[in-house]
Structure 1
């Protein structure tokens, strides 16, 4: 700006020369309600030089960073700060980049498949492009199955056992994620997973929350042994597991009851093993499913031994 512009208004041409913004662009901003103006006595647009120049320069700088007009209006009107709209734009950009990375990994997964597997893999991966919806469906699956569990334990279970591929772009993991989504969507899979959890008809359980809490504690203890590479065996971990089931039914721990727990289980169902293997592959850590399998193997040993199950555990 040159000269003294105090107390006078300037036309659109002078504003264009002062800022380097083309007249047609200034006119567009005015028509869209981004830049304020008034009309002269003959109907021409006129502007306060100080206010209009400052706003126009701000508009140009924010537009250069890809900020939308609505957000710019919010800044100019004082509804939002520059920092707030920049942060929002960055968040949106990160979401967009994540979606693109997911698509790229999916394309690589199809491209890398053997020719005879490509059509099937394409079908599987097409169903998980909305990864947020898939994650929500997995969370809903476990929330329904573990509904009696306390909110704290349930949230902890989901954190440890439900893969969240927010940052993971490994094509192998995306394929595994797609398979997990298909399993969760299978009504038959929910039935076998429920059977594994309750070890019988769910309606026969009197005290569900203590059962789930006890099983969670047993799985945690078994997890430490798995990490220490200890093979399945009867012991306090299994006793805690059986105690939880017995108490939930209002009965005692006996050899017969342990055999009943085996006959009522579905641990050998290949879908369960597939689900937990895929989960472990994606998460890269031990899962509750691995602990459940360890306890199941220990229960097989205990039920097949002679004498009282806890006595056999002590002898081992």
Structure 2
């Protein structure tokens, strides 16, 4: 049996009292009683009501429990290992994952304290208010993911996961003070009541013709952003070309229309792409992740190209 082999590699024999069991294992008598009441260790009673234990089984179990408890493994997990409901490897992996979460929260807290400590007097009150709303990197990440799930409601899970991996910063293992401030600002942005409406306007381009195929639109826009990536990376000015054509075609097809000069003009009306909040969101995302190009940068470049192609002013 896995449990026995880990502890002793063999079996002892006979019955022992609770005091003798305590001496053999180094586990306090009161703790052994608690383990008995919890079902961790089995015992029998003498006619006088004293607990007696099978020496081999009880010693093996108590030594295993003591060693796992020393590593911080909880009694529920230990009980599952002893009954065979969970393997030793599974229990240890779960405990390690929990430790990773705790370490991440501590790293976030340390960086937050440094961010406030190192702030100028003028910055300190703002940073304190901002960081007090975000307890750790995991909750910050969840807030941003939840925001995008609402915006991208029809997107299939695999497409959403691709979007999330590229455009939502992962929880930071060892963040810098600047990164926690930036992430906390992202959380504050997505919490603004009007921000979701601005982002939806930028993404869906609502107009006189309703969108019939949102998933197809998202896929087409993503493809257009990918086609424009090299031009953005090279610092080229927004211009007409295959990327813009694919972008407009995605919007037209999703509405059951054709790419015409009139459609392009309607598509550019009421742009929110230069809203400072959306630009700030994508700038912060780029700074946190280290990515040089984001979906936001791609969309902005394409909308600027659309402005130029329809004779409008090029956004800056």
| TM-score bucket (shorter structure) | 0.7 to 0.9
| Structure 2 gap ranges (5+) | 1-10
CA-CA distance at 1:187 after TM superposition: 2.3
Q: How far apart, in 1, do the equivalents of 2:105 and 2:12 lie?
A: 51
CA distance in 2, matches of 1:249, 1:22: 74
Cα distance 1:203–1:174, how it changes in 2: closer, same or farther (>3 A)? farther
| 1:294 and 2:311 correspond | no
SS at match of 2:58: helix
Q: Which residue matches 1:269?
A: 275
TM-score between both structures, scaled by the size of structure 1? 0.84
- Higher mean alpha-carbon deviation, 192-201 vs 20-29, is at 20-29
Checking the alignment, whether the CA contact within 8 Å between 1:11 and 1:46 is kept in structure 2 is: yes
Query: How many residues are matched?
Result: 301
1:129 aligns with 2:135: yes
In the alignment, which residue of structure 1 is the partner of 2:222?
216
Cα distance in 2 between the residues matched to 1:23 and 1:151: 53
Correspondence for 1:187 among 193, 208, 211: 193
The more displaced of 222-231 and 188-197 is 222-231
Q: Is the 8 A contact 1:232 1:295 kept in 2?
A: yes
Shift of 1:219: 0.9
1:33-84 per-residue CA deviation (whole Å, 9 max, x = no partner) reads 3222212222222222222222222222222222222323333333333322
1:221-246 residue CA offsets vs partner (Å, 9 max, x unmatched): 11122223333222111122222233
Q: What is the root-mean-square deviation of aligned Cα atoms in Å?
A: 2.6
SS at match of 1:10: strand
Cα distance, 1:254–1:41 mapped onto 2, change above 3 Å: closer
How far off is 1:278 after superposition? 0.9
TM-score, scaled relative to structure 2: 0.84
Provide the residue aligned with 1:70 in structure 2.
76
Instruction: Name the larger-Rg structure.
Output: 1
